[in-house]
Homo-oligomer: A and B are copies of this chain.
């Protein structure tokens, strides 16, 4: 049994799911909540999952980081649109020499965390998870769930597989969550953007599911062109994404069940969109290297319009 304690900053569809799985496996988990605090403190968490439903009748629930114990591993599972809260949230809850595990979408989020806390290990996690929060304390896990972990270092220098990563991976694996380890977090993040940028963007802009985007020859072509632009962006960071990876993502999406992307769900629920983390940061990174990602910029501009008008 691990001695490590976990803090979950953001107990939504993602943080709630992984946190509940860790607690169910016997770990000491502390959940930060906002709107669901009263309900969860009283009634716990319910997870409906394709891997089997379960209930946690009692959880350590908090409505304020100041009341939380310092934890060995602090999981950042807020939406990136809430990252302006991190400078207040993170320092009180993370132990000296502890770990901050960033389970967020997009690029450069670990850099932001590194500016806030010292003497911690920062690990990035790329989640392939399809889950929704359907009611207070009630999470519905529909599909997938694996996480790719990579350790962050300044300038995203590849760190290889570190013991710290391995420890976290063991905790998650014991909790029934599939883990892959990557030696190069930044490459992993750019590869995830190959999927996230075209599908999240176009699903919102065109009010479409993945299957509709792939069934029309024009949007299928646009998706592919945007993927190649993401690959060009990765190249400005010295990361190479093989053409075969792009073809695999296209084939994989054609075979997937019709899927409403997470950004489309946010848009439909009138929540703020993660435009800056998923589109703005890659754009700015490439721009700083002298490369203009024109299609991604076009999607960014369209999404900013929709987010500011409808969010």
Contacts and interface: CB of A to CB of B under 8 A. Distances in A.
Contacts of A183: none
Contact of A219 (B208, B216, B222, B302): B302
Interface residues of A, number: 23
Contacts of A216: 304-305, 308-309
Given A205-B205, A294-B295, A302 B212 contact: no
A206 B306 contact: yes
A298 B295 contact: yes
B221 A305 contact: no
A206 B305 contact: yes
Interface SS of chain A: helix
Given A308-B216, A309-B216, A298 B301 contact: no
A17 interface: no
A84 interface: no
A300 B205 contact: no
Interface string A275-311: 0000000000000000000110010111011101100
Contacts of A225: 298
Nearest to A217: B304
Interface in A119-172: none
Contacts of A202: 302
Nearest to A302: B206
A218 interface: yes
Interface string A44-68: 0000000000000000000000000
Interface in A182-222: 202, 205-206, 208, 212-213, 216, 218-219, 221-222
Given A294-B294, A295-B294, A301 B219 contact: yes
A302 B221 contact: no
A208 B294 contact: no
22 contacts: A202-B302, A205-B206, A205-B302, A206-B305, A206-B306, A216-B304, A216-B308, A218-B302, A218-B304, A219-B301, A219-B302, A219-B305, A221-B301, A222-B298, A222-B301, A222-B302, A225-B298, A294-B294, A294-B295, A295-B295, A295-B298, A298-B298
Given A212-B305, A225-B298, 5 more contacts: A205-B205, A212-B309, A213-B305, A218-B308, A295-B298
